[in-house]
Structure 1
Amino acid sequence: MAGALSDGRSAVPAWAWPLVALRLTGLLALLLLCVPLYYALAPFTRRNPAPRLFLRGVAAIAGVRLRTRGTLSSRRSFIVTNHVSWIDIPALAGTTGTAFVAHDGLAQIGPLRWLCALNDTVFVARHERRSVAAQVAQVRQALGESGTLTIFAEGTTSDGSGTLPFKSSLLSALEGEAQSVAVQPVWLDYGSDARRIAWVGDEPGLDNALRILARPGGVDLTIHFLPPLEAHERADRKVMATAARAAIDGAIARLRSHA
Protein backbone atom coordinates (compact mmCIF):
# COMPACT_ATOMS: atom_id res chain seq x y z
CA MET A 1 0.00 0.00 0.00
CA ALA A 2 2.69 2.45 -0.97
CA GLY A 3 2.59 5.32 -3.40
CA ALA A 4 0.28 8.31 -3.54
CA LEU A 5 -3.44 8.93 -3.48
CA SER A 6 -5.23 10.66 -6.33
CA ASP A 7 -5.24 14.02 -4.53
CA GLY A 8 -1.52 13.95 -3.83
CA ARG A 9 -1.56 12.71 -0.24
CA SER A 10 0.86 9.88 0.41
CA ALA A 11 -0.31 6.40 1.26
CA VAL A 12 1.61 4.35 3.83
CA PRO A 13 5.28 3.97 2.81
CA ALA A 14 7.03 0.67 3.46
CA TRP A 15 9.29 2.12 6.15
CA ALA A 16 6.27 3.23 8.24
CA TRP A 17 4.66 -0.19 8.63
CA PRO A 18 6.59 -1.07 11.83
CA LEU A 19 5.16 2.09 13.45
CA VAL A 20 1.66 1.20 12.23
CA ALA A 21 2.04 -2.31 13.63
CA LEU A 22 3.26 -0.96 16.99
CA ARG A 23 0.33 1.43 17.26
CA LEU A 24 -2.21 -1.22 16.24
CA THR A 25 -0.78 -3.52 18.92
CA GLY A 26 -1.16 -0.73 21.45
CA LEU A 27 -4.77 -0.16 20.41
CA LEU A 28 -5.57 -3.85 20.76
CA ALA A 29 -3.97 -3.97 24.22
CA LEU A 30 -5.96 -0.91 25.26
CA LEU A 31 -9.19 -2.50 24.04
CA LEU A 32 -8.47 -5.71 25.95
CA LEU A 33 -7.93 -3.63 29.10
CA CYS A 34 -10.93 -1.32 28.78
CA VAL A 35 -13.68 -3.73 27.73
CA PRO A 36 -13.50 -5.85 30.91
CA LEU A 37 -13.22 -2.63 32.90
CA TYR A 38 -16.40 -1.35 31.25
CA TYR A 39 -18.42 -4.41 32.18
CA ALA A 40 -16.94 -4.51 35.69
CA LEU A 41 -18.01 -0.91 36.33
CA ALA A 42 -21.35 -1.04 34.49
CA PRO A 43 -23.47 -2.15 37.50
CA PHE A 44 -22.10 0.64 39.68
CA THR A 45 -22.12 3.77 37.53
CA ARG A 46 -24.60 5.63 35.36
CA ARG A 47 -21.91 7.16 33.14
CA ASN A 48 -19.21 4.55 32.70
CA PRO A 49 -15.69 6.09 32.63
CA ALA A 50 -14.15 3.23 30.63
CA PRO A 51 -15.14 4.53 27.15
CA ARG A 52 -13.61 7.93 27.92
CA LEU A 53 -10.41 6.26 29.13
CA PHE A 54 -10.32 4.09 26.02
CA LEU A 55 -10.90 6.96 23.59
CA ARG A 56 -8.34 9.18 25.31
CA GLY A 57 -5.87 6.32 24.97
CA VAL A 58 -6.74 5.86 21.27
CA ALA A 59 -5.87 9.50 20.62
CA ALA A 60 -2.58 9.20 22.50
CA ILE A 61 -1.53 5.98 20.75
CA ALA A 62 -2.40 7.53 17.37
CA GLY A 63 0.14 10.26 18.14
CA VAL A 64 -2.30 13.10 18.80
CA ARG A 65 -0.69 16.03 20.62
CA LEU A 66 -3.76 17.56 22.17
CA ARG A 67 -4.27 21.09 23.49
CA THR A 68 -7.42 22.83 24.62
CA ARG A 69 -8.50 26.47 24.59
CA GLY A 70 -11.46 27.38 26.77
CA THR A 71 -13.59 24.89 28.66
CA LEU A 72 -16.80 22.94 28.36
CA SER A 73 -19.41 25.35 29.69
CA SER A 74 -21.68 22.86 31.42
CA ARG A 75 -21.88 19.19 32.30
CA ARG A 76 -25.12 19.14 30.29
CA SER A 77 -24.09 20.50 26.91
CA PHE A 78 -24.81 20.01 23.25
CA ILE A 79 -21.56 20.43 21.30
CA VAL A 80 -21.79 21.58 17.69
CA THR A 81 -18.49 21.08 15.91
CA ASN A 82 -16.70 20.76 12.58
CA HIS A 83 -15.49 17.38 11.33
CA VAL A 84 -12.12 16.64 9.73
CA SER A 85 -10.97 13.14 10.70
CA TRP A 86 -11.81 10.05 12.71
CA ILE A 87 -9.37 11.50 15.25
CA ASP A 88 -12.08 14.04 16.14
CA ILE A 89 -14.03 11.37 18.00
CA PRO A 90 -11.42 9.95 20.40
CA ALA A 91 -9.89 13.39 20.99
CA LEU A 92 -13.16 15.11 21.84
CA ALA A 93 -14.63 12.20 23.80
CA GLY A 94 -11.38 11.67 25.69
CA THR A 95 -11.37 15.34 26.67
CA THR A 96 -15.03 15.83 27.57
CA GLY A 97 -16.62 12.39 27.96
CA THR A 98 -19.18 13.30 25.31
CA ALA A 99 -21.38 10.86 23.42
CA PHE A 100 -22.03 11.41 19.70
CA VAL A 101 -24.76 11.57 17.11
CA ALA A 102 -23.52 9.38 14.25
CA HIS A 103 -24.72 8.37 10.80
CA ASP A 104 -26.41 4.99 10.82
CA GLY A 105 -23.94 3.71 8.20
CA LEU A 106 -21.61 2.98 11.12
CA ALA A 107 -24.30 0.77 12.62
CA GLN A 108 -23.90 -1.64 9.70
CA ILE A 109 -20.38 -2.57 10.86
CA GLY A 110 -20.90 -4.96 13.77
CA PRO A 111 -17.75 -4.43 15.86
CA LEU A 112 -17.82 -0.68 15.27
CA ARG A 113 -21.49 -0.46 16.25
CA TRP A 114 -20.71 -2.36 19.44
CA LEU A 115 -17.87 0.03 20.34
CA CYS A 116 -20.01 3.07 19.55
CA ALA A 117 -22.85 1.71 21.68
CA LEU A 118 -20.53 1.44 24.68
CA ASN A 119 -20.14 5.24 24.45
CA ASP A 120 -23.93 5.78 24.12
CA THR A 121 -23.78 6.80 20.44
CA VAL A 122 -27.08 7.88 18.89
CA PHE A 123 -27.45 6.51 15.35
CA VAL A 124 -29.56 8.53 12.93
CA ALA A 125 -30.49 8.15 9.27
CA ARG A 126 -29.82 11.67 8.02
CA HIS A 127 -31.26 11.01 4.55
CA GLU A 128 -34.56 9.67 5.89
CA ARG A 129 -36.56 12.87 6.23
CA ARG A 130 -39.64 10.92 7.31
CA SER A 131 -37.89 9.85 10.51
CA VAL A 132 -36.65 13.29 11.62
CA ALA A 133 -39.20 13.52 14.44
CA ALA A 134 -38.11 10.14 15.80
CA GLN A 135 -34.46 11.16 15.54
CA VAL A 136 -35.13 14.39 17.43
CA ALA A 137 -36.76 12.31 20.17
CA GLN A 138 -33.66 10.09 20.26
CA VAL A 139 -31.41 13.11 20.65
CA ARG A 140 -33.51 14.51 23.50
CA GLN A 141 -33.43 11.18 25.30
CA ALA A 142 -29.67 10.87 24.81
CA LEU A 143 -29.10 14.34 26.23
CA GLY A 144 -30.94 13.34 29.35
CA GLU A 145 -28.95 10.14 29.71
CA SER A 146 -25.43 11.17 28.67
CA GLY A 147 -25.20 14.76 29.86
CA THR A 148 -23.04 15.90 26.95
CA LEU A 149 -23.76 15.08 23.32
CA THR A 150 -21.87 16.08 20.16
CA ILE A 151 -23.08 16.52 16.59
CA PHE A 152 -20.86 17.00 13.56
CA ALA A 153 -23.18 19.56 12.02
CA GLU A 154 -21.65 19.50 8.52
CA GLY A 155 -22.89 15.94 8.11
CA THR A 156 -19.55 14.92 6.56
CA THR A 157 -15.85 15.68 6.83
CA SER A 158 -14.14 18.75 5.39
CA ASP A 159 -10.49 19.55 4.65
CA GLY A 160 -10.27 21.69 7.78
CA SER A 161 -9.62 24.98 5.98
CA GLY A 162 -13.12 26.20 6.82
CA THR A 163 -16.58 24.81 7.45
CA LEU A 164 -19.26 23.39 5.20
CA PRO A 165 -22.92 24.42 5.65
CA PHE A 166 -24.33 23.22 8.97
CA LYS A 167 -27.40 20.99 8.84
CA SER A 168 -30.08 22.10 11.29
CA SER A 169 -32.69 19.31 11.48
CA LEU A 170 -31.47 17.63 14.65
CA LEU A 171 -31.06 20.97 16.40
CA SER A 172 -34.84 20.92 16.73
CA ALA A 173 -34.21 18.78 19.82
CA LEU A 174 -32.83 21.88 21.56
CA GLU A 175 -35.76 24.17 20.91
CA GLY A 176 -37.32 25.03 24.26
CA GLU A 177 -34.30 23.70 26.18
CA ALA A 178 -32.46 27.01 26.62
CA GLN A 179 -32.52 26.83 30.40
CA SER A 180 -31.28 23.28 30.81
CA VAL A 181 -28.88 22.57 27.93
CA ALA A 182 -25.97 24.75 26.79
CA VAL A 183 -25.31 24.79 23.04
CA GLN A 184 -21.56 25.22 22.59
CA PRO A 185 -19.69 25.59 19.28
CA VAL A 186 -16.34 23.81 19.25
CA TRP A 187 -13.61 24.21 16.65
CA LEU A 188 -11.33 21.24 16.01
CA ASP A 189 -8.15 22.88 14.75
CA TYR A 190 -5.45 20.76 13.08
CA GLY A 191 -3.46 23.79 11.96
CA SER A 192 -1.28 23.37 8.91
CA ASP A 193 -1.71 19.57 9.04
CA ALA A 194 -5.45 19.67 8.42
CA ARG A 195 -5.36 18.99 4.68
CA ARG A 196 -2.85 16.17 5.12
CA ILE A 197 -4.88 14.25 7.68
CA ALA A 198 -8.41 15.08 6.52
CA TRP A 199 -10.65 12.22 5.45
CA VAL A 200 -12.19 13.64 2.28
CA GLY A 201 -12.90 12.63 -1.29
CA ASP A 202 -13.06 8.95 -2.19
CA GLU A 203 -10.33 7.78 0.20
CA PRO A 204 -11.46 4.64 2.07
CA GLY A 205 -11.71 5.06 5.83
CA LEU A 206 -9.18 2.31 6.50
CA ASP A 207 -6.62 4.02 4.27
CA ASN A 208 -7.08 7.29 6.12
CA ALA A 209 -6.69 5.58 9.49
CA LEU A 210 -3.50 3.82 8.41
CA ARG A 211 -2.02 7.03 6.97
CA ILE A 212 -2.48 8.78 10.30
CA LEU A 213 -1.10 5.85 12.30
CA ALA A 214 1.95 5.93 10.01
CA ARG A 215 2.84 9.56 10.80
CA PRO A 216 6.08 9.51 12.85
CA GLY A 217 5.54 13.11 14.00
CA GLY A 218 2.01 12.53 15.16
CA VAL A 219 -0.82 15.02 14.79
CA ASP A 220 -1.31 18.40 16.47
CA LEU A 221 -4.90 19.18 17.47
CA THR A 222 -6.23 22.14 19.40
CA ILE A 223 -9.81 21.94 20.66
CA HIS A 224 -11.26 25.43 20.93
CA PHE A 225 -14.27 25.57 23.26
CA LEU A 226 -16.06 28.69 22.07
CA PRO A 227 -18.68 30.64 24.10
CA PRO A 228 -22.09 28.95 24.27
CA LEU A 229 -24.83 30.39 22.10
CA GLU A 230 -26.78 33.21 23.70
CA ALA A 231 -30.56 33.29 23.95
CA HIS A 232 -31.07 35.30 20.75
CA GLU A 233 -28.89 32.80 18.88
CA ARG A 234 -31.23 29.98 19.88
CA ALA A 235 -34.47 31.29 18.45
CA ASP A 236 -34.89 28.17 16.31
CA ARG A 237 -32.85 25.37 14.76
CA LYS A 238 -31.79 27.36 11.68
CA VAL A 239 -30.66 30.30 13.79
CA MET A 240 -28.66 27.91 15.99
CA ALA A 241 -26.98 26.28 12.99
CA THR A 242 -26.08 29.66 11.47
CA ALA A 243 -24.78 31.04 14.76
CA ALA A 244 -22.68 27.97 15.56
CA ARG A 245 -21.08 27.97 12.12
CA ALA A 246 -20.42 31.72 12.31
CA ALA A 247 -18.72 31.25 15.69
CA ILE A 248 -16.36 28.60 14.34
CA ASP A 249 -15.62 30.48 11.12
CA GLY A 250 -15.00 33.61 13.18
CA ALA A 251 -12.48 31.78 15.36
CA ILE A 252 -10.71 30.49 12.24
CA ALA A 253 -10.55 33.99 10.78
CA ARG A 254 -9.23 35.53 14.01
CA LEU A 255 -6.45 32.97 14.30
CA ARG A 256 -5.40 33.45 10.68
CA SER A 257 -5.34 37.23 11.07
CA HIS A 258 -2.78 36.87 13.85
CA ALA A 259 -0.67 34.30 12.02
Structure 2
Amino acid sequence: MVAALLAALLLHGTWRLLRRRSPWPRRLLGLIGRIAGARAEPIGLPERRAVLYLANHQSWLDILVIAGASGSAFVAKGELQDVPLIGWLCGMNHTLFVDRGDRLGVARQVDRLRTALAADHPVTIFPEGTTDGGGTHLLPFKAALLGAIDPPAPGLCVQPVYVDYGAAARDLAWVGDEPGQDNALRVLARPGSFTVRLHFLAPFDPAPLGRKGVAARARAAIEAEMTRAAA
Protein backbone atom coordinates (compact mmCIF):
# COMPACT_ATOMS: atom_id res chain seq x y z
CA MET A 1 0.00 0.00 0.00
CA VAL A 2 2.83 2.38 0.85
CA ALA A 3 4.57 1.70 -2.47
CA ALA A 4 1.32 2.24 -4.38
CA LEU A 5 0.67 5.46 -2.48
CA LEU A 6 4.13 6.89 -3.20
CA ALA A 7 3.92 6.03 -6.89
CA ALA A 8 0.42 7.49 -7.21
CA LEU A 9 1.44 10.70 -5.43
CA LEU A 10 4.32 11.16 -7.85
CA LEU A 11 2.07 10.61 -10.85
CA HIS A 12 -0.68 12.80 -9.37
CA GLY A 13 1.80 15.63 -8.82
CA THR A 14 3.03 15.31 -12.40
CA TRP A 15 -0.51 15.54 -13.77
CA ARG A 16 -1.18 18.60 -11.63
CA LEU A 17 2.02 20.30 -12.81
CA LEU A 18 0.87 19.73 -16.38
CA ARG A 19 -2.52 21.26 -15.41
CA ARG A 20 -4.31 18.11 -16.42
CA ARG A 21 -7.11 16.43 -14.52
CA SER A 22 -5.49 13.66 -12.50
CA PRO A 23 -7.01 10.15 -12.61
CA TRP A 24 -4.66 8.89 -9.92
CA PRO A 25 -6.72 9.41 -6.73
CA ARG A 26 -9.51 7.13 -7.97
CA ARG A 27 -7.04 4.68 -9.52
CA LEU A 28 -5.20 4.52 -6.22
CA LEU A 29 -8.45 3.87 -4.35
CA GLY A 30 -9.17 0.98 -6.69
CA LEU A 31 -5.63 -0.36 -6.27
CA ILE A 32 -5.81 -0.14 -2.47
CA GLY A 33 -9.06 -2.11 -2.65
CA ARG A 34 -7.32 -4.75 -4.76
CA ILE A 35 -4.40 -4.93 -2.33
CA ALA A 36 -6.96 -5.44 0.45
CA GLY A 37 -8.24 -8.46 -1.47
CA ALA A 38 -11.20 -7.01 -3.40
CA ARG A 39 -11.53 -8.08 -7.04
CA ALA A 40 -14.13 -5.78 -8.58
CA GLU A 41 -16.37 -7.27 -11.27
CA PRO A 42 -18.60 -4.63 -12.90
CA ILE A 43 -21.90 -5.94 -14.23
CA GLY A 44 -23.77 -3.55 -16.51
CA LEU A 45 -22.54 -0.21 -17.79
CA PRO A 46 -21.92 2.67 -15.38
CA GLU A 47 -22.98 6.10 -16.53
CA ARG A 48 -19.91 8.36 -16.50
CA ARG A 49 -21.28 11.92 -16.49
CA ALA A 50 -24.30 13.74 -15.12
CA VAL A 51 -25.16 10.83 -12.85
CA LEU A 52 -25.83 10.19 -9.18
CA TYR A 53 -25.22 6.61 -8.07
CA LEU A 54 -27.32 5.29 -5.18
CA ALA A 55 -25.68 2.19 -3.69
CA ASN A 56 -26.17 -0.18 -0.80
CA HIS A 57 -23.50 0.07 1.87
CA GLN A 58 -21.63 -2.72 3.65
CA SER A 59 -18.00 -1.70 4.15
CA TRP A 60 -15.44 1.05 3.61
CA LEU A 61 -14.30 -1.18 0.75
CA ASP A 62 -17.43 -0.05 -1.12
CA ILE A 63 -15.77 3.31 -1.75
CA LEU A 64 -12.56 1.75 -3.02
CA VAL A 65 -14.18 -0.62 -5.51
CA ILE A 66 -16.79 1.83 -6.83
CA ALA A 67 -14.17 4.56 -7.27
CA GLY A 68 -11.84 2.21 -9.08
CA ALA A 69 -14.59 0.98 -11.42
CA SER A 70 -16.30 4.27 -12.20
CA GLY A 71 -14.23 7.26 -11.09
CA SER A 72 -16.99 8.32 -8.72
CA ALA A 73 -16.68 10.82 -5.89
CA PHE A 74 -18.69 10.11 -2.74
CA VAL A 75 -20.86 11.40 0.02
CA ALA A 76 -19.63 9.56 3.12
CA LYS A 77 -20.16 9.74 6.86
CA GLY A 78 -17.77 12.01 8.69
CA GLU A 79 -16.26 9.18 10.77
CA LEU A 80 -14.59 7.77 7.65
CA GLN A 81 -12.47 10.90 7.44
CA ASP A 82 -10.60 9.70 10.54
CA VAL A 83 -9.74 6.24 9.17
CA PRO A 84 -5.95 6.20 8.59
CA LEU A 85 -4.99 6.54 4.92
CA ILE A 86 -8.50 5.77 3.61
CA GLY A 87 -9.94 9.06 4.88
CA TRP A 88 -7.12 11.04 3.28
CA LEU A 89 -7.42 9.19 -0.03
CA CYS A 90 -11.16 9.77 -0.10
CA GLY A 91 -10.57 13.47 0.46
CA MET A 92 -8.25 13.52 -2.57
CA ASN A 93 -11.10 11.95 -4.56
CA HIS A 94 -13.48 14.85 -3.77
CA THR A 95 -15.43 12.96 -1.09
CA LEU A 96 -18.03 15.04 0.74
CA PHE A 97 -17.91 14.10 4.42
CA VAL A 98 -21.22 14.70 6.18
CA ASP A 99 -22.50 14.47 9.72
CA ARG A 100 -25.81 12.67 9.41
CA GLY A 101 -26.71 13.69 12.94
CA ASP A 102 -26.45 17.38 12.05
CA ARG A 103 -30.08 17.98 11.12
CA LEU A 104 -29.59 21.74 11.15
CA GLY A 105 -26.81 21.40 8.58
CA VAL A 106 -28.77 19.38 6.00
CA ALA A 107 -29.42 22.41 3.79
CA ARG A 108 -25.70 23.20 3.71
CA GLN A 109 -24.87 19.59 2.86
CA VAL A 110 -27.48 19.58 0.09
CA ASP A 111 -25.90 22.70 -1.41
CA ARG A 112 -22.46 21.08 -1.34
CA LEU A 113 -23.80 17.99 -3.04
CA ARG A 114 -25.53 20.08 -5.71
CA THR A 115 -22.18 21.74 -6.45
CA ALA A 116 -20.42 18.35 -6.65
CA LEU A 117 -23.02 17.05 -9.11
CA ALA A 118 -22.19 19.93 -11.42
CA ALA A 119 -18.65 18.53 -11.86
CA ASP A 120 -17.75 16.15 -14.68
CA HIS A 121 -17.61 12.94 -12.65
CA PRO A 122 -20.21 10.67 -11.00
CA VAL A 123 -21.14 11.08 -7.35
CA THR A 124 -22.22 8.18 -5.10
CA ILE A 125 -24.53 8.31 -2.10
CA PHE A 126 -25.12 5.43 0.29
CA PRO A 127 -28.70 6.28 1.27
CA GLU A 128 -28.92 3.63 3.99
CA GLY A 129 -26.66 5.96 5.95
CA THR A 130 -24.99 3.07 7.78
CA THR A 131 -23.63 -0.44 7.22
CA ASP A 132 -25.79 -2.23 9.81
CA GLY A 133 -27.49 -4.32 7.14
CA GLY A 134 -24.47 -6.60 7.32
CA GLY A 135 -24.81 -7.56 3.66
CA THR A 136 -27.94 -9.64 4.28
CA HIS A 137 -30.68 -7.04 3.85
CA LEU A 138 -31.33 -3.44 2.90
CA LEU A 139 -32.14 -0.78 5.44
CA PRO A 140 -34.55 2.07 4.65
CA PHE A 141 -33.17 4.65 2.24
CA LYS A 142 -32.89 8.15 3.67
CA ALA A 143 -33.95 10.87 1.26
CA ALA A 144 -32.72 14.07 2.92
CA LEU A 145 -29.63 14.59 0.75
CA LEU A 146 -31.64 13.82 -2.38
CA GLY A 147 -33.00 17.34 -2.04
CA ALA A 148 -29.96 18.17 -4.18
CA ILE A 149 -31.76 16.65 -7.19
CA ASP A 150 -35.24 17.92 -6.40
CA PRO A 151 -35.47 19.34 -8.99
CA PRO A 152 -32.51 17.77 -10.84
CA ALA A 153 -30.13 19.61 -13.12
CA PRO A 154 -30.96 19.17 -16.82
CA GLY A 155 -29.79 15.81 -18.12
CA LEU A 156 -28.98 14.34 -14.70
CA CYS A 157 -29.88 10.68 -14.18
CA VAL A 158 -29.87 8.38 -11.15
CA GLN A 159 -28.30 4.92 -11.40
CA PRO A 160 -28.83 2.33 -8.64
CA VAL A 161 -25.78 0.19 -7.83
CA TYR A 162 -25.94 -3.13 -6.00
CA VAL A 163 -22.63 -3.95 -4.28
CA ASP A 164 -22.45 -7.71 -3.77
CA TYR A 165 -19.66 -9.35 -1.73
CA GLY A 166 -21.30 -12.77 -1.88
CA ALA A 167 -20.32 -15.13 0.93
CA ALA A 168 -17.49 -12.80 1.99
CA ALA A 169 -19.97 -10.17 3.20
CA ARG A 170 -20.22 -11.61 6.70
CA ASP A 171 -16.43 -11.31 7.10
CA LEU A 172 -16.22 -7.76 5.75
CA ALA A 173 -19.35 -5.90 6.82
CA TRP A 174 -18.93 -3.03 9.22
CA VAL A 175 -21.75 -3.64 11.71
CA GLY A 176 -22.81 -1.88 14.88
CA ASP A 177 -20.36 0.23 16.87
CA GLU A 178 -17.17 -1.52 15.77
CA PRO A 179 -14.38 1.10 15.68
CA GLY A 180 -13.25 1.94 12.16
CA GLN A 181 -9.62 1.04 12.83
CA ASP A 182 -10.61 -2.36 14.24
CA ASN A 183 -12.73 -3.08 11.19
CA ALA A 184 -9.93 -2.04 8.83
CA LEU A 185 -7.44 -4.32 10.57
CA ARG A 186 -9.93 -7.20 10.56
CA VAL A 187 -10.57 -6.82 6.82
CA LEU A 188 -6.86 -6.52 5.99
CA ALA A 189 -6.07 -9.61 8.09
CA ARG A 190 -8.56 -11.74 6.12
CA PRO A 191 -6.59 -14.23 3.99
CA GLY A 192 -7.10 -14.51 0.27
CA SER A 193 -9.06 -12.43 -2.20
CA PHE A 194 -12.78 -12.09 -2.84
CA THR A 195 -14.97 -10.97 -5.71
CA VAL A 196 -17.10 -7.82 -5.41
CA ARG A 197 -19.79 -7.71 -8.06
CA LEU A 198 -20.89 -4.17 -8.87
CA HIS A 199 -24.32 -4.34 -10.49
CA PHE A 200 -24.85 -1.05 -12.34
CA LEU A 201 -28.61 -1.14 -12.82
CA ALA A 202 -30.80 0.71 -15.29
CA PRO A 203 -30.53 4.52 -14.85
CA PHE A 204 -33.68 6.58 -14.58
CA ASP A 205 -34.83 10.18 -14.78
CA PRO A 206 -35.42 11.54 -11.25
CA ALA A 207 -37.39 14.60 -12.38
CA PRO A 208 -40.96 13.28 -11.97
CA LEU A 209 -40.36 11.40 -8.72
CA GLY A 210 -39.23 13.85 -6.05
CA ARG A 211 -36.58 12.92 -3.50
CA LYS A 212 -38.64 10.29 -1.66
CA GLY A 213 -39.76 8.73 -4.92
CA VAL A 214 -36.15 8.54 -6.12
CA ALA A 215 -35.10 6.81 -2.88
CA ALA A 216 -37.98 4.33 -3.11
CA ARG A 217 -37.35 3.48 -6.77
CA ALA A 218 -33.60 2.99 -6.29
CA ARG A 219 -34.14 0.82 -3.20
CA ALA A 220 -36.69 -1.34 -5.02
CA ALA A 221 -34.28 -1.85 -7.95
CA ILE A 222 -31.39 -2.85 -5.66
CA GLU A 223 -33.60 -5.14 -3.57
CA ALA A 224 -34.87 -6.87 -6.72
CA GLU A 225 -31.29 -7.39 -7.97
CA MET A 226 -30.24 -8.67 -4.54
CA THR A 227 -33.03 -11.24 -4.65
CA ARG A 228 -32.20 -12.24 -8.22
CA ALA A 229 -28.46 -12.60 -7.49
CA ALA A 230 -29.17 -14.80 -4.45
CA ALA A 231 -31.46 -17.15 -6.39
* TM-score of the superposed pair, with normalisation by structure 2: 0.91
Q: Is 2:69 aligned against 1:123?
A: no
Q: CA RMSD in A?
A: 2.0
Q: Where do 1:152-191 residues align within 5 Å?
A: 152-157=126-131, 158-177=133-152, 179-191=154-166
> What CA distance in whole angstroms lies between the structure 1 residues aligned with 2:12 and 2:156?
27
- Aligned counterpart in structure 2 of residue 204 of structure 1, from 174, 179, 183: 179
> What CA distance in whole angstroms lies between the structure 1 residues aligned with 2:56 and 2:185?
22
> What CA distance in whole angstroms lies between the structure 1 residues aligned with 2:86 and 2:47?
30
Q: Is 2:101 aligned against 1:101?
A: no
Deviation at 1:71, TM superposition (A): 0.9
How many pairs are equivalent?
230
Residues 165 and 194 in structure 2, CA contact (< 8 A), matched pair in contact too: yes
Q: Is 2:203 aligned against 1:223?
A: no
> What CA distance in whole angstroms lies between the structure 2 residues aligned with 1:151 and 1:173?
11
Deviation at 1:175, TM superposition (A): 1.6
What 5-or-longer segments of structure 2 have no aligned partner? none
- The residue identity in structure 1 corresponding to 2:9 is V
Could you tell me which residue of structure 2 aligns to residue 132 of structure 1? 106
Query: Aligned pair in 2 of structure 1 residues 117, 231: CA closer, same or farther (>3 Å)?
Result: closer
> What CA distance in whole angstroms lies between the structure 1 residues aligned with 2:176 and 2:164?
20
> What CA distance in whole angstroms lies between the structure 2 residues aligned with 1:224 and 1:200?
22
Deviations 1:203-234 (A, max 9, x none): 222222222222222122100000012457x5
> What CA distance in whole angstroms lies between the structure 2 residues aligned with 1:161 and 1:107?
26
Which 4+ runs in 1 deviate beyond 6 A?
none
Q: Is 2:30 aligned against 1:48?
A: no
- The residue identity in structure 2 corresponding to 1:81 is A
Residues 36 and 188 in structure 2, CA contact (< 8 A), matched pair in contact too: yes
Deviation at 1:152, TM superposition (A): 0.8
Between stretches 192-201 and 43-52, larger displacement belongs to 43-52
Query: Aligned pair in 2 of structure 1 residues 79, 165: CA closer, same or farther (>3 Å)?
Result: same
Residues 100 and 150 in structure 1, CA contact (< 8 A), matched pair in contact too: yes
Identity %: 44
> What CA distance in whole angstroms lies between the structure 2 residues aligned with 1:178 and 1:243?
19
> What CA distance in whole angstroms lies between the structure 2 residues aligned with 1:73 and 1:54?
21
Residues 71 and 121 in structure 2, CA contact (< 8 A), matched pair in contact too: no
Q: Where do 1:10-159 residues align within 5 Å?
A: 27-45=1-19, 47-107=21-81, 113-157=87-131, 158-159=133-134
SS in 1 for 2:75: strand
Residues 69 and 223 in structure 1, CA contact (< 8 A), matched pair in contact too: yes
* TM-score of the superposed pair, with normalisation by structure 1: 0.82
Deviations 1:172-229 (A, max 9, x none): 1112226321100000001122112111123222222222222222122100000012
> What CA distance in whole angstroms lies between the structure 1 residues aligned with 2:85 and 2:198?
28
Residues 99 and 148 in structure 1, CA contact (< 8 A), matched pair in contact too: yes
- Aligned counterpart in structure 2 of residue 248 of structure 1, from 219, 222, 229: 222
Q: Which has the larger radius of gyration?
A: 1
Residues 120 and 146 in structure 1, CA contact (< 8 A), matched pair in contact too: no
Query: Aligned pair in 2 of structure 1 residues 145, 208: CA closer, same or farther (>3 Å)?
Result: same
